[in-house]
Amino acid sequence: MNTELKPIKNQEFGGERPLYCEHNLDLEGVIIHAGESALKETSNIRATHCRFEGKYPFWCCDGFEVRDCIFTVGARAALWYSKNLVMEDTIVDAPKMFREMEGIKIKNVIIGSAAETFWHCGNIEARDLVADRADYIFMKCHDIVLHNFKLNGNYSFQWTKNVEIHNSVLNTKDAFWETENVTVYDSVINGEFLGWHSRGLKLVRCHIGGSQPLCYAEDLVLEDCTFAPDADLAFEYSSVKATVKGHIVSVKNPRTGSIHAGSIGELIIDKNIKAPGNCLITTE
């Protein structure tokens, strides 16, 4: 933000569109009370130590910084149809944040009600992000890099493309369905039905929990991963190249590729296996 900003300090606004179509503002200690679209169609906005209570405060915005702010429950659907956001040290209790956005940088943010958050967004960078009650988070997003992400919520990352995740804990059922080009490093992933129908999913030094993981996957890669005791019936109908440290409870009908594990409790190869049915399975 190189343009000189107009300061607005310790003021309160409410109602419909109080700062509509304003540009180049420096908001400090501002409270946005109940109402709608307080900062709609704005650009070059800096908000510091602010509190947002009304609906839809940042719609159709281009270039805005949000630091050390609070979005209350009433500030639902706060950031839609916007681009070029930096958000740091902020608490979000409002549902349905971040829709149809491009260019999002986040650091040290807690989203307490993250259901249906990050839909149809692209070019996302986040570090030290916590998302709770986060069903259907990151739906149909692209080009995402996450570090130290803590997730509690199901059906995450469906139909995403070009995702990179590091040092994270993901408690999430039905994660990474129909994804393309996703890589997860040094993370814990707990939840049933992981990665079904994915293409180019790669897990590196990850710990995997939950029943029936990694089925119906294409070009699946695992490097030095571990499996929890409840991660059974793995790899059904997948093309896979996997090295697993330690024990896998059961492997069922992998389609092709190779699997090497410390040990496998039950190997199920039956009449329902799909062609070519030539996966090479070895143990130590």
Between the CA of residue 136 and those of 69, 91, 140, 141, 151, what are the distances in Å? Answer: 25, 20, 10, 11, 11
Residue 90 burial (C-beta neighbours within 10 Å; 0-12, 13-18, 19+):
buried
Beta bridge partners of 176: none
pLDDT surpasses 60 at 42: yes
Structure tokens given for 238: 């997948």
Domain ranges of the chain: 154-284
Name the pTM for this structure.
0.96
Task: Provide mean pLDDT across the span 193-208.
Answer: 98
Q: What is the DSSP letter of 165?
A: E
Q: What is the DSSP letter of 214?
A: S
Residue 7 burial (C-beta neighbours within 10 Å; 0-12, 13-18, 19+):
exposed
pLDDT surpasses 60 at 150: yes
Structure tokens given for 47: 């908000």
Give me the pLDDT at residue 114, please: 96
Q: What is the DSSP letter of 49?
A: S
Task: Provide mean pLDDT across the span 78-98.
Answer: 97
Nearest to 200 by CA among 178, 180, 185, 177: 180
Mean pLDDT of the chain: 97
Beta bridge partners of 151: 131, 170
pLDDT surpasses 90 at 222: yes
Task: Provide mean pLDDT across the span 249-278.
Answer: 97
CA 143, distance to chain mean position in Å, is: 11
1: confidence class by pLDDT, cuts 50, 70, 90: low
Give me the pLDDT at residue 282, please: 98
Task: Provide mean pLDDT across the span 188-201.
Answer: 98
Beta bridge partners of 87: 66, 106
Give me the pLDDT at residue 2, please: 57
Give me the pLDDT at residue 3, please: 78
Task: Provide mean pLDDT across the span 77-99.
Answer: 97
Task: Provide mean pLDDT across the span 1-12.
Answer: 88
Q: Can you tell me whether residue 195 is helix, strand or coil?
A: coil
Do you know the residue count of the chain? 284
> Which tens digit of pLDDT belongs to each residue from 119-129?
999 999 999 99
Q: Can you tell me whether residue 54 is helix, strand or coil?
A: coil
